[in-house]
Amino acid sequence: MAWAGRSSRRANATAIARQAKRGHAEAMRTILLAAAFLAASSYPSLAHAQGAAAAPATAADARLKALYEAYADWDQKESGFFQDAKGENQSSDYLPKVDPATQLARAKYQQTLLDQLNAIPLASLSPTEQVNAAVLREILQAAIADAKFREWEMPINSDSNFWTYLNARNPLDDAAAYRRYIARMRDIPRYFAEHVANMRAGLKRGFTPPQATLTGRDSSISSFVKPAEQNAFYEAFRTMPSTISSAEQAQLREEAKAAIDQAVVPAYQNLLTFYREAYVPGARRTTAARDLPNGDAFYRSQIREFTTLELGPDEIHDIGLKEVARIEAEMQQTMKDSGFKGSFAEFLKFLKTDPQFVARSPDELLGVSAYAAKRVDGKLKDYFELLPRRRFTIIPVPEALAPFYTAGRGGLESCQMNTHNLPSRPLYNIPALTLHECAPGHSFQAALAKEGPALPRFRRNIYFSGYGEGWGLYTEWLGNEMGIYRTPYERFGQQSYAMWRAVRLVIDTGMHSKGWSRQKGIDYLAGHTALSQHEVETEVDRYISWPGQALSYKLGELAIRRLRSEAERELGTRFDIKKFHTMLLGLGSVPLPVLEQQVHQFIATSKAAPAPAQASR
């Protein structure tokens, strides 16, 4: 997921407070994946997904549209973007403001919008606008809740931060885009200074990630402390479009070098010094979210934000334990299918240590992923009505991020595979990872979104984790039906990934509400999955420093699978898997309760339609 300055907020800037917290690495998931779903009105077959497409607009519709269009304009400007002549978002010549006064002003504006939204009678809205209202309400409520906890004072975690992805890695479109990029580089000192001031405020009140999760992350800062022509910020200037004259190219390169040496490098150096000498030494020694100021309320707020469900820690913990038991039984059977004669613990050790499962080079790992993606290509027509025209590439995770990054990330232009520390990336996991991140997971979603942009502007750059990550995990499971997993080991890899997300429900709630230690979380994850020790420790640190986020995957997948089972049961021979997937992808990114409402509408509409000659499964 790439973007030169993106946060994991639910909209471009809806909670730039959240930008502070999630940072630009996770932020990348938001803009390339955000709204990675087609608008129902783009395709006649999707009309049922959001009600009758031709329903007449109401006066309430007009009020709502005026509200969210004004919000979209504000949101875009606040986050440092503008809309070009093609209607696409482009980075402006400045980075967003993140100082407390600006954050509080944003929250005040969002509360005003929420009050105006709540004054619009829901029953007076058309079906499509009811969905838009629900999405806007969720966005605003989450942003307002974040502001109450002053989340901008903790702008990093073990997985993401605000200082990566500010650099452009590919050539830009024209001279104007280069000048805006240079201006953003010049703005980095101010941007970093505001973040550092926020972090100092967080230090004073004990509102930081746990110290144990921050060690070594300074390498992602130090990688940018290099002279201009060796600096990653200069990469976009190495090859420039031929539409820019040679003389102007030379001038832009000189301006870029000056900006890097005079602004970028000093800003990163100052940040590095602060991180090493003040932030990490002063970060809290505890691990639980409940140990933060007003910690229990904060954790419950994070659960609500990431899952969009009204579930408490105890309820989620119990769901996790039941899922762990169910998946463990499947894993035991797969172990038997493989012919392995030892215990389950011995099987896990075999999978983690046998050389046959380790790629000999980064290219070999990328090749396994590429072949899995091509096997998926051969099956897509049997499960999807709409296939994207746009293609994605498979590339390694950038070197500066790889040591502490997750196994992979998917996005519009590329699907990233982590090739750092190859023994920690067993090949039997790669097919499931490829389905999730590439196709029919996130890259597939993003391409469909690009080709069918009929959502209102405020919804085009949003991302609800329960919906988006639930889809990604659902596609891993779907790989069984599609016949993607060829060996017991690859099937075990998928089951191990499913277990990985199930134990998150147990570990996240265990650590943040039940007093689990970091080591207990590590032991639990290592004892239930075939993940390498490196992956286990990276993941547990992520859960510790990012409370609630990891819960969204499994809860979202469980919701999608439950709703699919309900549709199959209710529709019988009328159930069509292709149309079901079209409906799901056509909703746009929505809270899980809205998803459930829309699936029920799909069932009702499908029952009322003339029976097809033969439904496809």
pLDDT in tens, 76-116: 999 999 988 887 889 999 999 999 999 999 999 999 999 99
- Return the pLDDT at 12: 41
Distance CA 462, CA 469 (A): 13
Looking at the domain assignment, is residue 194 inside a domain? yes
Q: Which residue has the tokens 């056509």?
A: 586
Distance CA 505, CA 317 (A): 6
Question: Which residue(s) pair with 394 in the sheet?
Answer: 415
User: Is residue 155 a contact partner of residue 20, using CB atoms and an 8 Å limit?
Assistant: yes
- Return the pLDDT at 452: 67
Looking at the domain assignment, is residue 471 inside a domain? no
In this prediction, residue 19 has a pLDDT band, given cuts at 50, 70 and 90, of very low
**Lowest mean pLDDT across 29-38, 245-254, 346-355, 542-551:** 29-38
DSSP 519: H
- Return the pLDDT at 453: 58
Hey, is 399 helix, strand or coil? coil
Q: What is the DSSP string of 332-354?
A: HHHHHHTT--S-HHHHHHHHHH-
- Checking if the pLDDT of 25 tops 70, the result is no
Looking at the domain assignment, is residue 180 inside a domain? yes
Cα angle vertex 33, ends 539, 61, to 5°? Answer: 130
- Checking if the pLDDT of 11 tops 50, the result is no
pLDDT in tens, 441-462: 998 888 887 776 578 999 987 8
Distance CA 566, CA 590 (A): 19
Q: What is the distance of C-alpha 485 from the center of its chain?
A: 25
- Checking if the pLDDT of 31 tops 90, the result is no
- Checking if the pLDDT of 267 tops 90, the result is yes
Please list, in sequence order, all residues whose beta carbon lies within 8 angstroms of the beta carbon of residue 587, skipping any fewer than 6 positions away: 37, 40, 49, 50, 131, 594, 595, 598
- Return the pLDDT at 2: 30
- Checking if the pLDDT of 33 tops 60, the result is no
- Checking if the pLDDT of 411 tops 60, the result is yes
**Which structure tokens are listed for 483?**
């016949």
Looking at the domain assignment, is residue 210 inside a domain? yes
- Checking if the pLDDT of 7 tops 60, the result is no
Q: Which residue has the tokens 């903790």?
A: 154
Q: Kindly list the distances between the CA atom of residue 115 and the CA atoms of 67, 70, 138, 174, 295, in Å, as whole numbers in the listed order.
A: 11, 15, 13, 42, 27
Cα angle vertex 18, ends 113, 71, to 5°? Answer: 25
- Checking if the pLDDT of 4 tops 70, the result is no
- Return the pLDDT at 531: 80
More confident residue, 556 or 52: 556
User: Which range of residues forms the domain containing residue 124?
Assistant: 16-287
Looking at the domain assignment, is residue 206 inside a domain? yes
Looking at the domain assignment, is residue 173 inside a domain? yes
User: Is residue 426 a contact partner of residue 532, using CB atoms and an 8 Å limit?
Assistant: yes
Q: How many CB atoms lie within 10 A of CB 337?
A: 13
Q: What is the DSSP string of 183-200?
A: HHHHHHHHHHHHHHHHHH
Of 35-49, 407-421, 558-572, the range with the highest mean pLDDT is 558-572
Looking at the domain assignment, is residue 548 inside a domain? no
- Return the pLDDT at 617: 53
- Checking if the pLDDT of 307 tops 80, the result is yes
User: Which residue in 46, 189, 164 sits closest to 405, CA to CA?
Assistant: 164
Q: How many CB atoms lie within 10 A of CB 143?
A: 29
- Checking if the pLDDT of 3 tops 60, the result is no
In this prediction, residue 486 has a pLDDT band, given cuts at 50, 70 and 90, of very high
User: Is residue 306 a contact partner of residue 468, using CB atoms and an 8 Å limit?
Assistant: no
- Checking if the pLDDT of 490 tops 50, the result is yes
DSSP 380: G
Please list, in sequence order, all residues whose beta carbon lies within 8 angstroms of the beta carbon of residue 234, skipping any fewer than 6 positions away: 228, 256, 257, 260
* Average pLDDT of every residue of the chain: 88
pLDDT in tens, 338-379: 999 999 999 999 998 999 999 999 999 999 999 999 999 999
With the CA atoms of 215, 437, 32 and 413 taken in that order, what torsion angle do they form, in degrees rounded to the nearest 10? Answer: 110
Mean pLDDT of 226-238: 96
User: Is residue 113 a contact partner of residue 74, using CB atoms and an 8 Å limit?
Assistant: no
- Return the pLDDT at 399: 83
Mean pLDDT of 31-57: 41
Question: Which residue(s) pair with 416 in the sheet?
Answer: 395, 409
Distance CA 275, CA 273 (A): 5
User: Which residue in 190, 168, 132, 154 sits closest to 11, CA to CA?
Assistant: 132
User: Is residue 46 a contact partner of residue 601, using CB atoms and an 8 Å limit?
Assistant: no
Count: domains in the chain: 1
This prediction's pTM = 0.84
Looking at the domain assignment, is residue 302 inside a domain? no
Q: What is the DSSP string of 26-62?
A: HHHHHHHHTT-S--GGGSGGGTTBTB-TTPPP-HHHH
More confident residue, 44 or 338: 338
